[in-house]
Structure 1
Amino acid sequence: MNDFYEQFVGRKDSRLYNYIKFLMYATSFIALVFFAIMKIIGFIIFAVIAVLIFVARRKLYVEYEYSFTNGEIDIDKIIDKNNRKTAANFQIRDIELMAKAESDFVKSSDFKYDKELNCYNNCNNSDIYSILTVCNQEKLRINFGPDKKFIEVCFSMNPRKVKTSLR
């Protein structure tokens, strides 16, 4: 059986992101003004501030991609549209539980996790699900925002561990 499904979770620019972008452009402009009037100290200060804001802005623009391939789930974190890092990679048959994050299934689970990963954007309108699993010898709780199709594909591969309703 050859199952494949991929979900991209983009993001919308928040007010904070737009404000930081404006600050970056404003400080760059001020640095250029200082450079034009030959005030090197002012130029250096504002140029450094602009570079620091640029780095902070890049860290704020985060998107996620969830892919399901033949029972293997990959969750990738995409920073500033070009740097991709794998946040988690595991088999659906090896999970302890997958359910809505606020469900009784997750709350009553006796699974003690070492680390919690939040792999969703705050601007998403989808429900947040939690996966309790062991990934690379580390017990994880992975919070993410899958769509219905992604949940259905996971349920078809492991119906005993994937819970699709609240109780």
Structure 2
Amino acid sequence: MDNFYEQLVSKQKSSAYKIVNAAFYIFAGLALLTLSAIPIFVVCLLLAVASFFGKKALYVEFEYAFTNGDIDIDRIVEAKKRKRLLTFDVKNAELIAPEDSSYVKDFSNKPSKMLTLFPGGTDRNVYVAMVTGGNERFQLRFTPDEEFLNLCYKYNPRAVKKS
């Protein structure tokens, strides 16, 4: 039987994102209105471009997909642009446990590469996966829900430690 599950980890648009987004429209409008005054036009255009790229960093979501033991993690910017960040087999994980648990603290030979793949300011439980099999060794910080953890447990019961 195939096991497939997707989890979208999102956050509300922060007030900083809303301010930078509004600044983009204000500066773009001012740039159009001041086409005849070149110095003001250039300053407004530069501020509009800076706010356009700055707002992208303020609204990021992550999607965790579980497909028959393979975990895919994508980053979604402004609910528009998707990029695959990571793919690994759950059987290559030696440990999946809550970040503040003794399992993580007592884990020997931790990989030095740390990946944090969840939006900042989350109130969800953060889990750490120690992936040491396959091509790369890394620690993954992410925020799976109960169903996602249950599927991981089904494919690798010795590695998954629930809270």
TM-score norm. by structure 1 comes to: 0.89
Amino acid at match of 2:97: A
Residue 15 (structure 1) shift? 1.7
Q: CA RMSD in A?
A: 1.6
Task: Report the identity percentage.
Answer: 34
2:55 aligns with 57
Aligned mate of 1:155, from 153, 156, 163: 153
Q: Moved runs in structure 1, 4+ residues, more than 4 A?
A: none
Aligned mate of 1:101, from 99, 102, 109: 99
Residue 145 (structure 1) shift? 0.8
Amino acid at match of 1:20: V
Q: Matched residue of 2:34: which SS?
A: helix
**What does the per-residue CA deviation read over 1:28-71, in whole Å, with 9 as the maximum and x for residues that have no partner?**
23323322xx2012101211210111011112221111011111
Amino acid at match of 2:71: I
1:25 aligns with 25
With 145-154 and 105-114 compared, the bigger mean Cα shift is at 105-114
Aligned mates of 1:149, 1:127 — CA distance in 2: 14
With 106-115 and 95-104 compared, the bigger mean Cα shift is at 106-115
Gaps of 5+ in 1: none
Aligned mates of 2:132, 2:21 — CA distance in 1: 39
1:39 aligns with 37
Aligned mates of 1:87, 1:135 — CA distance in 2: 18
Residue 137 (structure 1) shift? 2.8
Aligned mates of 1:23, 1:95 — CA distance in 2: 44
Aligned partners of 1:90 and 1:135 also within 8 Å:
no
Aligned mate of 1:146, from 134, 144, 147: 144
Aligned mates of 1:142, 1:54 — CA distance in 2: 30
Aligned mate of 1:79, from 77, 86, 111: 77
